[in-house]
């Protein structure tokens, strides 16, 4: 799976896991922030994303501060998954 | 969120008063101060109108009592709260209470399992004593609002650290969410209040005593996302020095499906159990602010 396909899959997974009913993958900009002004996600949504990375890609965070950078955008998430995925 | 729906998270009384109570209770039973509290609470009734209005509403509309009966129960409700607070300070001083536990097999089973679990607590009865009387085999991470005085927080820590409990302060940026996840990952117990909103944020609606109201979404969604067993505990005062601890299951952790929907299921079970306890112990409702969003005051 290349980077583009991974991002599309990731967007779909984010929409499903966070129950974002009115949003399609096309609405999510790869570089736009997921939290705050972007999709407006909060810290509990971050927990969902953390579980998503664990379940789907076998990634566990050892440093909680790292998560802020990883969940900054779809671009950042995809880059981290490519570098660290276990499955 | 309406401003009167937000809770400041503080125990009443000055720091000096709280320290004096702890010293007194190291020598005498709190019951000797109950007559003083019976008079003291009159001040709260007359000079804390927001709390008085909220408790009157609770008795008049939610417990469906008449006007006169509601006024009487309003006073008794405050008096009961005063007794519970005194008992709490007595616990800080090291005093023991007689406690009967209903549902002990449930917590014993969870304590003996390897994984972590969540306890969703409420502000009815004397919930802080539940941790005090129930020594845990696992470390317990208690999510805590930091608005209380140093006296309350210092004595909480002194008392609870001996019991294997530690506190996790809530942070406005939600940093505590990851610490909660880490605690559960280590197989610890996570204790969260399920009935108060501190920083606003998203809410879920559920019925309690026949009327819908809002609850913080956080505790229920975290429970649903983590997919761990969830229980609730109600520490209810019976008489001087005597309590019953009720332990109830809200989720097994094996439920499947969307976390958002599962969060609602857990909340509905919680409010159902809360309602049953409040029907049995109506005087131990200690939300001194408008808990229900309704124009029916």
Chain B neighbors of A50, CB-CB under 8 A: 178, 181
The alpha-carbon radius of gyration of chain A (Å, integer) is 12
pLDDT of res. B284: 98
What is the DSSP code (8-state) at residue A3? H
Same domain membership, residue B129 and residue B221: yes
CATH superfamily ID and name for A3-84: ACP-like (1.10.1200.10)
Given this model, what pLDDT does residue B229 score?
98
Name the residue among A66, A74, A85, A87 with its Cα closest to residue A13. Answer: A74
Same domain, B204 and B268: yes
The per-residue pLDDT for range A7-36, each reduced to its tens digit, is 999 999 999 999 888 899 999 999 998 887
CB contact under 8 A, B178 and A44: no
Q: What angle do CA B137, B140, B144 make, to 5 degrees?
A: 160
What is the predicted pLDDT for the residue at B160? 66
Among B143, B170, B177, B227, the residue to mutate for chain A (most A Cβ within 10 A): B177
Are residues B182 and B36 part of one domain? no
Of B57, B92, B127, the residue that ends a domain is: B92
Q: With beta carbons under 8 A apart, name residues in chain B contacting A44.
A: 174, 177, 202, 217-218, 221-222, 225
The last residue of a domain, from among B92, B112, B128: B92
User: Could you list the residue range(s) of the whole structural domain that residue B111 is in?
Assistant: 98-282
- Touching check for B201 and chain A: CB below 8 Å? yes
Residues of A in contact with B260 (CB under 8 A): 19
Please name the member of A42, A51, A61 whose beta carbon is closest to the beta carbon of B225.
A51
Token digits for B85? Answer: 């607070």
B182 in any annotated domain: yes
Picking from A17, A43, A61, the nearest residue to B177 by CB comes out as A43
- Per the prediction, chain A carries an average pLDDT of 89
pLDDT tens digits, chain B, 297 residues: what are they? 334 444 444 555 666 776 777 777 777 888 889 999 999 999 989 998 999 999 999 999 999 999 999 999 999 999 999 999 999 888 888 888 999 999 999 999 999 999 999 999 999 999 888 876 666 788 989 888 765 555 566 666 666 666 678 888 887 777 788 889 999 999 999 999 999 876 567 899 999 999 999 999 999 999 999 999 999 999 999 999 899 999 999 999 999 888 989 999 999 999 999 999 999 999 999 999 999 976 555
pTM > 0.95: yes or no: no
Q: Check CB contact under 8 Å for B182 and A64.
A: yes
Do the beta carbons of residue B231 and residue B189 sit within 8 Å?
A: no
- Put simply, whether B174 touches A (Cβ < 8 Å) is yes
H helix intervals, chain A: 3-17, 43-57, 66-70, 74-84
Q: Does the beta-carbon distance from B202 to A51 stay under 8 Å?
A: no
* CB of B253 closer than 8 Å to CB of B106: no
- A65 vs A68: CA distance, rounded Å: 6
* Whether residue B129 is found in the same domain as residue B266: yes
Report the complex ipTM: 0.83
The alpha carbon dihedral of B293, B45, B24, B83 has a sign of negative
Return the SS3 of B249.
strand
Residues B114 and B151 in one domain: yes
pLDDT for B12 equals: 57
**Non-local CB neighbours of B142 within 8 Å, separated by 6+ positions:** B131, B160, B165, B166, B167, B168, B191
Q: How far is the first Cα of chain B from the last one, in angstroms, to the nearest whole number?
A: 18
Beta-bridged to residue B99, according to DSSP, are: B243
- Number of structural domains (chain B) is 2
**B130, containing H or E segment:** helix B127-133
Residue in chain A nearest B221 by alpha carbon: A44
User: Does residue B247 fall inside a structural domain?
Assistant: yes
Q: Return the pLDDT at A36.
A: 77
Is the same domain home to B88 and B207? no
Q: Give chain A's contact residues with B (Cβ, < 8 Å).
A: 17, 19, 42-44, 46-48, 50-51, 61, 64, 67
Q: What is the pLDDT of residues A40-85, one digit of tens each?
A: 888 889 899 999 999 999 998 777 777 888 988 999 999 999 999 9
Cβ of residue B222 closer than 8 Å to a chain A Cβ = yes
């Amino acid at each position: 799976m290349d980077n583009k396909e991974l991002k599309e899959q990731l967007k779909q997974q984010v929409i499903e896991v966070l129950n974002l009913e009115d949003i399609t993958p096309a609405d999510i900009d790869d570089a736009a922030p997921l939290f705050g002004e972007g999709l407006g996600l909060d810290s509990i949504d971050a927990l969902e994303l953390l579980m998503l990375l664990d379940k789907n890609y076998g990634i566990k965070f050892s440093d909680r501060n790292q998560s802020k950078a990883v969940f900054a955008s779809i671009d950042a998430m995809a880059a981290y998954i490519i570098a660290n995925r276990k499955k | 969120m309406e401003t009167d729906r937000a809770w400041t998270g503080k125990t009443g009384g000055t720091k000096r008063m709280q320290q004096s109570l702890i010293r007194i209770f190291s020598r005498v039973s709190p019951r000797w101060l109950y007559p003083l509290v019976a008079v003291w609470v009159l001040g709260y009734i007359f000079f804390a109108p927001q709390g008085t209005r909220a408790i009157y509403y609770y008795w008049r509309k939610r417990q469906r009592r008449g006007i006169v009966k509601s006024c009487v129960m309003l006073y008794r409700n405050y008096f009961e709260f005063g007794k519970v607070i005194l008992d709490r300070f007595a616990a800080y001083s090291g005093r023991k209470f007689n406690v009967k536990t209903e549902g002990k097999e449930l917590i014993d089973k969870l304590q003996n399992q390897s994984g972590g679990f969540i306890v969703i607590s409420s502000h009815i009865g004397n919930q802080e004593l539940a941790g005090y009387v129930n020594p845990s085999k696992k470390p317990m991470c208690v999510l805590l609002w930091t608005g209380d005085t140093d006296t309350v927080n210092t004595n909480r820590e002194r008392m609870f650290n001996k019991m294997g409990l530690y506190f996790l302060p809530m942070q406005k940026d939600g940093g505590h969410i990851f610490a909660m996840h880490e605690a559960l990952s280590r197989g610890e117990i996570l204790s969260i209040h399920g009935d108060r909103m501190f920083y606003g944020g998203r809410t879920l609606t559920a019925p309690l005593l026949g009327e819908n109201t809002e609850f913080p979404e956080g505790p229920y969604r975290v429970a649903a996302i983590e997919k761990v067993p969830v229980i609730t505990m109600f520490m209810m005062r019976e008489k001087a020095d005597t309590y019953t601890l009720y332990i109830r299951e809200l989720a097994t952790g094996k439920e499947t499906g969307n976390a958002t929907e599962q969060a609602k299921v857990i909340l509905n079970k919680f409010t159902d159990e809360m309602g049953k306890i409040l029907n049995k112990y109506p005087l131990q409702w200690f939300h001194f602010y408008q808990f229900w969003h309704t124009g029916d005051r």
